[in-house]
Amino acid sequence: MLSSKDKTETRRLPMMPIREVVIFPHMMTPFVVGRESSVRALEEALEHGDRCIFLAAQHDASVDEPRPDEIFSVGTVAKIVQSVKQSDGNIKVLVEGMERGKILSVSEEEGFFRATIKTTSFRVEQGPQLDALTSRVTSLFEQYVKISQNVNYDSMVAAIRPDDPGKLADTVGANLQLALEEKQELLEIFDPIDRLTRVAEMLDVEIEKLNVDRSIQGRVKRQIDKAQKEYYLNEKIKAIQKELGRGEKSEFDELKKKIESAGMTKDAQEKAMAELKRLEQMPPMSAESTVSRNYLDWLLAVPWKKKSKEIRDLPHAQSVLESDHYGLEKIKERILEFLAVRRLVKDPKGSILCFVGPPGVGKTSLGMSIAKATGRKFVRLSLGGVRDEAEVRGHRRTYIGALPGQILQMMKKAGVRNPVFMLDEIDKMSTDFRGDPSAALLEVLDPEQNYMFMDHYLDVEYDLSQVFFIATANVLHTIPPALQDRMEVIRLSGYTELEKMEIAKRFLVPKQTKETGVNSGEIEFPDEGIQELTQHYTREAGVRNLEREIGNVCRKVARAVVNAQSPAPEKGGEKPVAKKIDKAVITAAKVGELLGPQKFREQLTDRRNEVGATVGLAWTEVGGSILTTEAAIMEGRGRLTTTGKLGDVMQESAQAAMSYVRSRSHHMGLPRDFYRHLDIHLHVPEGAIPKDGPSAGITIATSITSALTSIPVRADIAMTGEITVRGRVLPIGGLKEKLLAAHRQGIFEVVLPTDNEKDLPDIPENIRNEMKLHFVNSMDEVLKIALERDLEMAPLSGMLTAAEIVARSREEKVTQ
């Protein structure tokens, strides 16, 4: 093969730098001209008859106005075939490459470049070597076009001119998917034989690339099936990485390091490593891979060794508890005892307490104070309405969307092994076909078992022995006995009026004034106003409604303050003047003015003694309350009717009371067969509310005795106690709540069973000092205290008929 220079020519043409494209001779290429200098060069070329322009690529496409040294020195002389000016001012041109040219010099004329270029033409001698090279390039290009999906086979094959080596090299080079630098390299080769040889080398490389890509695609297609077609792209990337010798080990190495440093138990670490090994062998986007990855994430997320640094300073803890809560001395003592043990024992087991009390007495906030006093993290799990055992233990991983139970989810949230963990409303759990969550809590709340708690999802043992569990409940009877046995029950009774007063002054008033934006200079709560709110606007064991009413007062004062600061415009268009209001002093009268009529009746001390009406004391889930029991007699056939939605136990108490009265009828001046001709109706008001329990026994017996003997019952005395058919008075529960209820209602004299005298230390000292307590063993003692006069003073009625007894009872009521 031989090629030689045929002719060299020097020309001076307008020059246009072009971006990101190399224009080869013999090729038609459209592009858009927008730069001002390029437009002027184009216009200059169009003014001449040959319409020729020199096009050279610039090194950096981001440069808007390149200098001559920023433009490649070899370009193409092109003829402007067509130019169309667009609406945005740009010009769309179609050019045809004519020949290569090399820049000799560049000058700037009237805002555009004019280049002096040298063009060279070559003469090629035909021969076997040239024919072989031409045939090889043609064959390679046909092969390239068949493999490539970006080139049209028919049009490209038709454009090949094997009789002209230079044109053949330019045609092939222009249609290869090459980088700008590689195309520029081809353009700068003037000798057609050298250019054709370089094109053959490039075709070999590009065909090899396409074959590798096809092999990758084939490998991927063999790996996937119909269910995995959507993961095609990811598999292709994986195959490319494999072809390049790269792996996906970095992510798995990181997971392995996390597992080794997590501080897991030996069994948990072995299980995590086995799961990691399985994960490495799975396709990354498969469903099983997601499940395994989520499992490993949860294993790493729960705290295995991190612990809060516990504060064991007793004075500090006492200070925190005193500042956050008023009263509750028994509970504060228990917390300080717990901390004292922590100081003496190096690694004690976690405590499990259960706070039981009516709503609003501070059970939940007390748990938060304990966490603050001990320096631990605090997490709270509400168990109200939970009825699925999986909420505690989690679901097994075989289920779609499975997660660990709430216990481990809260441990993850805490981030430490030893938080204060509050199980709120533990008495509100229920049971259905999905299991019993209270049974699942048996393991959690057992210090002998919870060091190896097993969650269904993680399926490895987890140590809960360092957790300080605190459960809260309103009642105990709905908590299974086995669960109660695992907790130390601490009862929180209702607050006295004095305690409510102090709580309001220390906590509630400052909190509500801050939340409503009222400052201390605009409102003042004297003791008189707080007492009015406590006595006549709330009836509760806790202070939640008291806080709500204080908030109502503060909001009304806030509105008055805002109205004074922004008064309505006066008539005549005069600018209103803001008024300064005096400090709102919340006296008893002011409370009524702001909140309206009193919501609860006056204290019962003003009530008159009545026949058949006795004040009893009851315990409810929200604290103690008073319960008036009424009895009426009428002619009949000896029936005892009970109304007021009484439960079975209370109805049996009524039967026991009736049996006692019948057995003592001769001591009460009643005919022995009085019950055969009388009906007795026993009613407990507020009939929509269910009532039950044995502690109303002496109250019922007193009401029946009063109705039959027409002796009024003292209205200033309350009572509670269980009765037997022989008249013995048995002890009751909830003494503190019942005495607090009597005190709230203004009743300061109470009849109690003697066996309850041992419970007096639990009663606040101020309540004991203000109340007169009668401790009795028998019903005879109760009647002697509760009736207006002794039974011995009742008129002898042994000869009276049932009609006369009824008439006498009616006369007594009329007299009253």
**Of 239, 278, 240, 5, nearest to 120 (Cα)?**
5
Could you give the C-alpha distances from 88 to 31, 46, 91, in angstroms and in order? 15, 20, 9
User: Which pair of tokens denotes residue 199?
Assistant: 């094109």
Residue 738 falls in the annotated catalytic set: yes
Distances (CA, A) of 734 to 65, 150, 562, 721: 93, 89, 47, 11
> What token pair was written down for 248?
């996906």
Give 679-719 as a DSSP string: EEEEE-S-TTS-B--STTHHHHHHHHHHHHHTPPBPTT-EE
3-state helix, strand, coil in the chain (%, to 5): 45, 20, 35
Laid out side by side, the sheet with 378-382 consists of: 378-382, 420-424, 468-473, 352-356, 488-491
Using an 8 Å Cβ cutoff, are 615 and 714 in contact? Answer: no
Q: In the annotation, is 38 catalytic?
A: no
Report which residue type is found at 583.
Answer: K
Amino acid in the structure at residue 784: K
> Considering 292, 625, 738, 797, which one is annotated as catalytic?
738
Q: CA quadruple 524, 528, 533, 537: dihedral positive or negative?
A: negative
Q: Strand 640-643 relative to strand 678-683: parallel, antiparallel, unpaired?
A: parallel
Q: Is 431 exposed, middle or buried (0-12, 13-18, 19+ CB in 10 A)?
A: middle
Bridge pairing between strands 420-424 and 468-473? parallel
Rounded CA separation 110/97 (Å): 25
Nearest by Cα to 441 from 406, 476, 474, 468: 406
Residues in the chain: 816
Helix (H, G, I), strand (E, B) or coil at 595: helix
* C-alpha to C-alpha distances, 787 to 612, 614, 615, 702, 710, nearest whole angstrom: 10, 10, 12, 8, 10
Cα–Cα distances (Å) from 52 to 44, 372, 545, in that order, read 9, 86, 94
Q: By three-state DSSP, how is residue 264 classified? A: coil
Q: Which one of the listed residues 625, 695, 703, 809 is annotated catalytic?
A: 695
Under 8 Å CB-to-CB from 3, ≥6 apart: which residues?
Answer: 122, 123, 124, 125, 191, 192, 193
Give residues with Cβ within 8 angstroms of 635, minimum separation 6.
Answer: 677, 678, 679, 802, 803, 806
Is the Cα dihedral 37, 39, 45, 48 positive or negative? Answer: negative
Cβ count within 10 A of residue 476: 16
Q: Which residues pair with 121 in a beta bridge?
A: 7
**CA separation (Å) from 509 to 104, 358, 516?**
92, 22, 11
Cα distance between residue 196 and residue 161, in whole Å: 13
Q: What is the CA radius of gyration of the chain?
A: 49
Q: Which residues are catalytic?
A: 695, 738
